[in-house]
Structure 1
């Protein structure tokens, strides 16, 4: 079977799933086609473990991306087996590069906190809420004035991951900075969002800002979740 024609047919099928699925498949098959042209393979029957191992070596990409490429090829070749074009799926036996997990959510050291808070600007109060409450970045971004009980000096908020409300004390460092407002108004209007997608988009800004501060001082990369890690290890 002509491999190029089969790849085009596969792309057509993947477009039925979703636009994102089709875009991913298109990117993978385009790179795979370039490789096949380079090594002179035209028929699907020529695909074997060695060819796919060579393709993995050909990809000049991060290990995570290589894994994603192979995942798409596995789906495609599984279909080829079902169509009777291959006896078995060679992608099932390919040797992949090892993914080394980085400690991105590392604990923030005193020097990191000094760098972040001194350069935080408009994100200072948001970063302080992360640091003194140990709440997740999205939960803090969704706080409203109605979540703060000034009489009890506490916060009552919905913990999205656990899907339950939780009350925790509000540190004096935060109390002195928060003024009373309308219950429905968000504490951080620039970050607040109803949908998860919009919330994640909004959280990119303080995350990238914090990472730029650390990078400028030669410090290791960290994430907004690093505040929670720090809280759990030192402040609780």
Structure 2
């Protein structure tokens, strides 16, 4: 059978999911990045990097990320092999490891930590990973963006809302509980927290005194109407 570490590997149905082709996700991620105050050449950590689809988006979504140094961590060997083939080695490093091993990897702290669609994966202790990020992987003035799926995929098509067996409508209690914990924990560590997004609920944490940017959207990224409050 397929090893557990290859559940999201190159030959899995997961590879049919293309987040960069979802304009809503790209817009939401752009908005989240705009809330960060990144230095000129930031260090970026992507947990659950897989083949690097999210990494490939980043330079176009925030000017500082064009000169960033990236580290991706994942336990899937086949996905990391694809990522290493996609990205230049000097600025991109990929580590095969379980997320629970993060404190033992000895990585210097980062300016931005991303974890999109990974914390709810089977076998991942999301709260332990978040604690590890804050305590071991993040600079005091660093930012965190967590992405929690609020969608399902059918034949590669994205459907809003996470469907559970025996439920005809999306069941949001687990998502709400997870997001509430992330928000509370990050606030306890002196972060200002924003919760945004549709197909992926993005929890963005920045230092309490960070100034959010007013830069224009990159070319080709549309403006979404603000919801009624």
Q: TM-score, normalised by structure 1?
A: 0.28
Q: Which has the larger radius of gyration?
A: 1
